[in-house]
Amino acid sequence: MAEQNKTDALVKVVEEQSKLLEQMRKELAEDEQEEITETKYLRMRRLALQAGTAAGAVAGAILGGVEAVGFMVELYETRAMAAEYATVAEEVYHVENNPEVAMNFMDMAIELDDSPEYRTNKVYYQSMQVVRELVNLDRPYNQDELDRAQESLAQSQFAGLIVGLNLQQNNFLGTGRQVGLNLNSSQWQSVASINYNNPYFTEDGVSRGFSVFYRKSDLSEINVASYTTDTVGATMSFGYPISETQRLGFNLGITDTDITSGRFAVQEIRTSPRLLEGVDQYYVSTRQPDGTYSGPEELFPITDLPPEAFVNLDNDGFLDQNGSRFTNWSITGSWVQSTLNRGQLATRGVSNSLSAQLSMPGSDLEFFKLNYRGEMYLPIYREFTFHLRGELGYGDGYGDTTELPFYEHFFSGGFGSVRGFEANTLGPRSTPPVIYQTGVAATAIDELGIPTELGGPDGLGFGYIVNPETGRIDTQQVITGRRRADPFGGNVVIEGSAEVLFPMPFVKDRSSIRSALFLDVGNVFNTNCRENQLNCFGVDAAELRYSVGIGVTWLSGFGPLTFALAKPLNASDTDRTEVFQFTLGRGF
């Protein structure tokens, strides 16, 4: 049983390394805009070269060439069958209007070819099935239900395909209470929530509401360091109007958050390198520069290595210090003021919001966040309007929590922030992970230095590689995300924008479209930079980023559709710029 567990652990390590190599290959292909098809031949050839054996390379080429033909034929037939299933699914949905059966055929297509297109279609069919179940009333729809029970399908540059369902009853069963159901799924996040609100909880106009929600997020999909969060929570909220244009809010909530970082988590999240589970041996490398070996490599227990053979892990990551699952009680107070003349495409008025959030003492994590957002519209002449927007944010830990949790960081860049830069990419970067190098020992060689046995008699001679010159385990830094360090955000955000809004030339009906010339400024900072963290800096006016450009907003049937052409004025080497941007759901 112990031998079987060891074998399983070794297989798992090899699989993880293969996944990393595959990911790095794909990112390289994206940067060079080339399409590379990875076949069994290439994998066998690569492993043979890594082992440094001429005989292995020849065997890999011969066997790989034979298997490559069969593999490509099999791949073609499999994808062809998947395409047939996907075609049937589309016909069933569009012709027979049966999303449930369409999902079954799409599942069969995904089993054969797990392509983003098929998964997108499946999410769409799922949404349509939910719509049919929720709005299958035994009476005619009223106009309010038609307006609110609509499928929201949008294409956004920031979040990819978004499929969602938002149902809201403002007068549930004639009680005057508000009940809502929200289901949304996008490339990076899935959210489900149920909310209830009584706007007339007291005679003074105090409202009381409750909400239960589930949220799963994959932050690597939106240009943030690679980790996922699963959060379940509930809140109770109160609102109090202090004037016709101002309102106070109070919120008490509890959240349970589980964070998954994976083996290749950045060092701010989890320190590295770490020993791998199931790998308990090492060997001193005898490989020469020409690929031959000066002698056989012998495996020893990892416990025989002295402490100086390992990297000194003197900087623990956040999850090392605090764990990966947190239950937090929070209290939030807010003030909102709005004198805008319209909810969409406003032309005059002021809007301000101020919020303070505190993770209460006794929670697994103790921290606070302060945030202010404001905007002002000032008419200039006829249809010309001057628009100012600003945001300030600050957060930090207290008590036993030494910093703001990384998953609560502020981010900057993109729409609603500093246009001309990719979404969420400004500011501090994470430190790429480091891994201990592992390999299969050449346990026997011939007189030419070519291995005749790899991994010992049982082939399980897998272990850490010790450099004979340094006596330390070799390490390698892993760069993921376009071969550059991932954005990590910070605990301070400063942003501002100035725009001149003007009517779109040559357009008669200007009520649903307008254009703007803009100047954006901002960045995100971190007052708790870790040692050796990349591009990390405290609040510094010299680090503010600027951009100028022109944009257009159109109130389409799906919501505000906004396009922008922006020119960054002082981008650094680490910044990711983007001249053309568009989004749905946000206007000027």
- pLDDT digits over 513-522, tens only? 889 999 999 9
- In this structure, are strands 367-381 and 451-454 parallel, antiparallel, or unpaired? unpaired
**C-beta of residue 52 within 8 angstroms of C-beta of residue 287:** yes
Give the range of the structural domain holding residue 446, as residue numbers without chain letter: 283-305+438-473
Say yes or no to pLDDT of 136 above 60.
Answer: no
pLDDT confidence of 274, banded at 50, 70, 90?
confident
Phi, psi of 354 (to 5 degrees): -135, 130
Element (H, E) at 432: none
In a domain, 183, yes or no: yes
pLDDT confidence of 224, banded at 50, 70, 90?
low
Say yes or no to pLDDT of 6 above 50.
Answer: no
The predicted pLDDT at position 102 comes to: 76
Same domain, 64 and 213: no
Same domain, 509 and 577: yes
State whether residue 13 is helix, strand or coil. helix
The predicted pLDDT at position 484 comes to: 62
State whether residue 79 is helix, strand or coil. helix
Same domain, 141 and 257: yes
Residue with tokens 């805009």: 33
In a domain, 26, yes or no: no
Same domain, 331 and 251: yes
Supply 499's token pair. 């725009």
pLDDT confidence of 89, banded at 50, 70, 90?
confident
pLDDT confidence of 372, banded at 50, 70, 90?
very high
Axis crossing angle, helix 116-134 with helix 54-96, rounded to the nearest 10: 30
Please count the helices (runs of H) and the strands (runs of E) in the chain.
7, 24
Show contacts of 502-507: CB within 8 Å, 24+ apart. 502/383, 502/384, 502/385, 503/383, 503/384, 504/552
Looking at residue 240, which CATH number applies to its domain? 2.40.160.50
In a domain, 2, yes or no: no
State whether residue 25 is helix, strand or coil. helix
The predicted pLDDT at position 31 comes to: 45
Tell me the per-residue pLDDT of 140-188, one tens digit each, with 9 for 90 and over: 434 343 343 333 333 334 444 555 677 888 888 878 899 999 888 777 7
Domain boundary among 97, 131, 165: 131
Same domain, 161 and 258: yes
* Cα end-to-end span (Å), the chain: 64
Same domain, 366 and 495: yes
- Whole-number Å distance between alpha carbons of 545 and 477: 29
Which comes out higher in pLDDT, residue 293 or 45? 293
Q: Give the CA distances from residue 507 to residues 382, 503, 514, in Å, rounded to whole numbers and listed in that order.
A: 16, 8, 9
Same domain, 414 and 531: yes
Say yes or no to pLDDT of 588 above 80.
Answer: no
Same domain, 183 and 139: yes
Domain boundary among 72, 100, 131: 131
State percent of the chain over pLDDT 90: 45
Question: Residue range 220-244: average pLDDT?
Answer: 84
Same domain, 191 and 109: no
Q: Kindly provide the b/e burial profile for residues 191-203, where b requires at least 16 CB atoms within 10 angstroms of the residue's own CB.
A: bebbbebbeebee
- Whole-number Å distance between alpha carbons of 544 and 341: 32
Q: Give the CA distances from residue 571 to residues 125, 422, 479, in Å, rounded to whole numbers and listed in that order.
A: 42, 11, 22
Which comes out higher in pLDDT, residue 157 or 588? 588
In a domain, 27, yes or no: no
Which comes out higher in pLDDT, residue 481 or 487? 487
* Lowest mean per-residue pLDDT among 140-154, 185-199, 311-325, 506-520: 140-154
In a domain, 6, yes or no: no
Question: Residue range 436-441: average pLDDT?
Answer: 90
Same domain, 404 and 502: yes
What residues contact 16, with CB distance under 8 A and at least 6 apart? 263
Domain boundary among 131, 154, 169: 131
* Lowest mean per-residue pLDDT among 117-126, 133-142, 235-244, 288-297: 133-142
Same domain, 496 and 386: yes
State whether residue 267 is helix, strand or coil. coil
Count of structural domains, the chain? 3
Say yes or no to pLDDT of 399 above 60.
Answer: yes
Same domain, 329 and 425: yes
In a domain, 454, yes or no: yes
Question: Residue range 483-487: average pLDDT?
Answer: 71
In a domain, 22, yes or no: no
DSSP state of 4: H
In a domain, 123, yes or no: yes
Rounded to 5 degrees, what angle do the CA atoms 400, 404, 410 make?
Answer: 170
- Whole-number Å distance between alpha carbons of 265 and 62: 38
Phi, psi of 542 (to 5 degrees): -70, -20
Nearest C-alpha neighbor of 584 from the set 163, 119, 303:
163
470: phi > 0 → left, psi -120 to 50 → alpha, else beta; which?
A: alpha
The predicted pLDDT at position 210 comes to: 96
pLDDT confidence of 242, banded at 50, 70, 90?
very high
pLDDT confidence of 93, banded at 50, 70, 90?
low
Say yes or no to pLDDT of 54 above 70.
Answer: no
What residues contact 519, with CB distance under 8 A and at least 6 apart? 497, 498, 499, 546, 547, 548
